Amino acid sequence: MKDPRFKPTAIRSPRGARTTEIDWADGHKGVYPHAVLRGYCPCAGCQGHSGEIKFVEPTDAQQELEDITTVGGYALALTWFDGHDSGIYSYKYLRSLCRCAECAAAAPGN
């Protein structure tokens, strides 16, 4: 059985919004600011080839999300209005990027 922490049941990202919300099968309501999603884009173009994920400060224009598509049963592909579309965000990785009040309070350094 798949871990319900890594299975989305609903994704909401209205056009023009600066936040995407994901409901997970375990009942968690995830909150994902577009600045965080774009800043932690996992693609090699944004992160290089070192394997280390670092935050890359996005411009305001880079934070407009155009489309979200599923990749198999394990990830989401995000397409941004500036044409960037090479980041594939695994469900496990997305959970680590959650900025809801509960996750923010549990983050290291808080």
Compute the C-alpha angle 101/26/22, nearest 5°.
55
**Residue 58 included in any domain:** yes
pLDDT (mean) for 81-95 = 95
Q: Is 97 helix (H, G, I), strand (E, B) or coil?
A: coil
Quote the mean pLDDT of the chain.
91
**Residue 56 included in any domain:** yes
pLDDT (mean) for 34-46 = 95
Q: Are strands 65-71 and 88-90 parallel, antiparallel or unpaired?
A: unpaired
**Residue 103 included in any domain:** no
**Residue 13 included in any domain:** yes
Domain, as residue range, for 90: 4-98
Q: Does residue 1 have a pLDDT over 60?
A: no
**Residue 104 included in any domain:** no
The predicted pLDDT at position 34 comes to 96
Q: CB–CB of 90/74 below 8 Å?
A: yes
The predicted pLDDT at position 70 comes to 95
Work out how many domains the chain is built from and give that number. Answer: 1
**Residue 94 included in any domain:** yes
Supply the CATH number for residue 71's domain: 3.30.2020.30
Q: CB–CB of 62/46 below 8 Å?
A: no
**Residue 109 included in any domain:** no
**Rounded Cα gap, residues 38 and 55, in angstroms:** 9
Quote the tokens at residue 82.
């500036």
- Determine whether 36 is exposed, middle or buried from the number of CB atoms within 10 Å of its CB (0-12, 13-18, 19+): middle
**Residue 105 included in any domain:** no
The predicted pLDDT at position 110 comes to 53
**Rounded Cα gap, residues 65 and 24, in angstroms:** 20
Q: Does residue 3 have a pLDDT over 60?
A: yes
